[in-house]
Amino acid sequence: MSTSLTVDIAFGLFSAATVVAAWLVFRTDSMVRAAYWLLASFAGVGAVMVLLHARFLGLVLVLMMAGEMTIMAVFMVMFMMNPAGLNPMTMVHQHRTAKIAGVVAFAGLALVGLVADFPDRPADRGRDPTADLGRELLGDSMLIFETAGVTLLASMIGALALASKRGRYGDAEEGSAPPPLEPVAGPRTGADTVTEPEAEADSGEHAGMSHG
């Protein structure tokens, strides 16, 4: 089998797998599965990039996404109050907005694909894409990439601050009081936890329930 035919078949397979995996992200009911279907989709894109001779970019994409999708799954589990991410939960929201956005995006991209005049500039075989990428990152595009990098770093620090044990409502381990049996107006304060032993003594038969 000739090389170009093998490449064409591989391209078809990886593209199809990418699309199917991306679709499955929204068909699953679990945060972890959704994250890893997305990783599978990215791995397909990485494979296509390797086929396009952007080997370094394709491999780095897979390398980065393996870590990032895992981190994303962990953060989703942390923020969603879904213990361990084991409970099923729906992965799609705001159906109408999502449908409109999806149709518009698809139509836009399809229009670009049909109408745009794609350049036909075969690259020289001798060029080293990895070296070109390095020059680009530390040359003309440095400001853009550094700005993006600092923005991402800031959002990472923000996400960590939100998820950290010491939050704005105090230490997560100390602030967690069982909900009161009588509805209370307003936010709960630390005082609730301090007076808890007395409350337990007052309503002995409910104490077990409040800890359940």
Using CB under 8 A as the criterion, which residues of the chain lie in contact with other proteins when the complex forms?
30, 32-33, 36, 39, 55-56, 59-60, 62-64, 66-67, 69-71, 73-74, 84-86, 130
CB of 42 to other proteins, least distance (A): 11
Of residues 53 and 188, the one with the C-beta less far from other proteins? 53
**Burial track 65-96 (b if 16+ CB lie within 10 A, e otherwise):** beeebeebbebbbeeeeeeebeeeeebeeeee
Of residues 70 and 193, the one with the C-beta less far from other proteins? 70
Length of the chain: 212
Cα–Cα distance for residue pair 85/63, rounded to 1 Å: 24
The beta-strand segments (E) located in 70-182 are 166-167, 170-171
Of residues 88 and 197, the one with the C-beta less far from other proteins? 88
Cα–Cα distance for residue pair 81/85, rounded to 1 Å: 8
CB of 90 to other proteins, least distance (A): 17
CB of 62 to other proteins, least distance (A): 5
CB of 141 to other proteins, least distance (A): 20
The beta-strand segments (E) located in the chain are 166-167, 170-171
CB of 101 to other proteins, least distance (A): 29
Contact assessment for residue 33 and residue 89, using Cβ atoms and an 8 Å cutoff: no
The token duo for 160 is: 């960590």
Cα–Cα distance for residue pair 170/197, rounded to 1 Å: 20
Of residues 83 and 187, the one with the C-beta less far from other proteins? 83
For the chain, what is the radius of gyration of the CA atoms? 26
Of residues 84 and 115, the one with the C-beta less far from other proteins? 84
